Every structure is written in structure tokens, then in C-alpha cells.
Structure 1
Amino acid sequence: MKKYNRDLGTYGESLAIEHILHKGYEVLDKNYKCAVGEIDIIAKQGEVLAFIEVKSRLSSYFGKPLESINYIKKNRIIKASKLYLQKNRLFNFFIRYDVIEITFLKDIHNYKINLLQDAFRL
């Protein structure tokens, strides 16, 4: 089951990247990992640097994908984003934390994508 969830997450991230590229984002990094956390996608849209968490679900039985991002997860994303900014010397950007919800309806080829810009803040 764990491998299946990982595969679903990887597929969801590829759909998310395709979605944001279509919306004019430039992907800078994906699956960025550091000592304090992980960020699924780091993308630029104009003067905005977006740190994007992707949540994929097979149904909404246990709630919306956004609802699974708790305080601890948000904190880890924020800490990881600060390290990323320092490491890459990216100081002249507005920062935003987005969430992409992907809900698969009947199968993996039938899905709904919802981009939530500025989903949470520091």
C-alpha cells in the first residue's frame, strides 16, 4: 500500500507540474529535501516564488486534500523554504505558499485539479 501511495503521489506531482507550466509558471526545483523538511515543487511566476505542496487523493472520504496539511507540515515547508532561499541566494522575490489538490474521480485518468494560491502563510 505504501508503494501505491508513493506512486500516486509521484503521478500527482507530474500532473501538478504540467498544470502550473500551462499557467505560466517556471519550475525551478522539485522534491527539494533538506534537514528540516521537503517541498514538492518550487516555481517562479513573475516576481513571485511559489513553494507548492501537492496532495493527491483517490476520494474525499477522509476530507479535502488541503485539510491533510497540518500545522507541523506547514512549519516544515516554511523552514525548508527559508533554507532554500538562503542556499540559492534568492532575496528579491515575493514568497507564496500554494497547494495543489488532485482528486481522482473514477480512475487515474479522470481527475480534478485545484490550485490554491497563497493557501497558508508564515
Structure 2
Amino acid sequence: MALKDDLGRLGEDLAADELERAGLRIVERNWRCDAGEIDIVATEGRTLVICEVKTRSSTRFGEPIEALTPAKIERIYRLASIYRRTHRVGTTRVRYDVVAIIAPYGHTPDIKHIRGAFG
């Protein structure tokens, strides 16, 4: 379990760096409420970006994006709604991004930022 946790933390660090390089401003990481967690909340101009990070060490069990099931997407929508209500984010446009990372141990990670991946 520790290796999976380490891989997840690495992925979220890499994702945050990638988003910042792309010009987004990170507002929060690992925002939690009773309903779950949003990996990264960012802004790009006047757009609120809810970002899911999917990290794998290889593609042996599929691409990272394949872990994003319809149930997971539905939960992200619910969490975004709760976040907006909690932080009084009004009619700001919301975009749902995914950062998919393949980070083989000892090798350079492959990072893909997918803007508007769903929603």
C-alpha cells in the first residue's frame, strides 16, 4: 500500500507542476469533504478547473484514463457542486480536466493533461 500511496503523491506533484507550467493557478490540492476528495482545484482565467489525477507505474493494466469510470465521474460532479457551494463560487465556468501519468520506476514519467476530459 505504501508504494501505491507514494505513486499517488508523486503523480499529484507532477500534475500540479504540469498545470502550473500550462498557466493554471493551483487553488487547492486534496480538497476533502464527507462525499470524497478533489485531487486538484485550479483556475485558468475565470474558469474553475476541477482536476482528477490518475497515475500508474505502467500500462500493464490499461491506461490511467481508463480508471475514470462513469461512477467516478458522477462523484467528481457531486464534489465540484459541493466545492462551489462551500466556497460560494457562483456562475463561474467549470471545466473538468484529467492529468494522466505513467511513471515507471527509474524512468521519466509520461504526463498528459487532458483539458475538458468530461463534462
Instruction: Give your verdict on TM over 0.5.
Output: yes
| Partner in structure 2 of residue 118 of structure 1 | 116
* Contact 1:38/1:76 (<8 A) preserved: no
Is 1:97 the counterpart of 2:87? The answer is no
- Return the offset for 1:39: 0.6
AA in 1 matched with 2:68:
I
Query: What do you get for the CA RMSD once the two structures are aligned?
Result: 1.1
How high is the sequence identity, in percent, across the aligned residues? 34
TM-score (norm 1): 0.92
1:1-122 superposed matches below 5 A:
2-105=1-104, 107=106, 109-121=107-119
Aligned residues: 119
Gaps of at least 5 residues in structure 2 are none
- Return the offset for 1:106: 5.2
TM-score (norm 2): 0.95
Gaps of at least 5 residues in structure 1 are none
* Contact 1:51/1:97 (<8 A) preserved: yes
- Structure 1 stretches of 4+ with a deviation exceeding 2 A read none
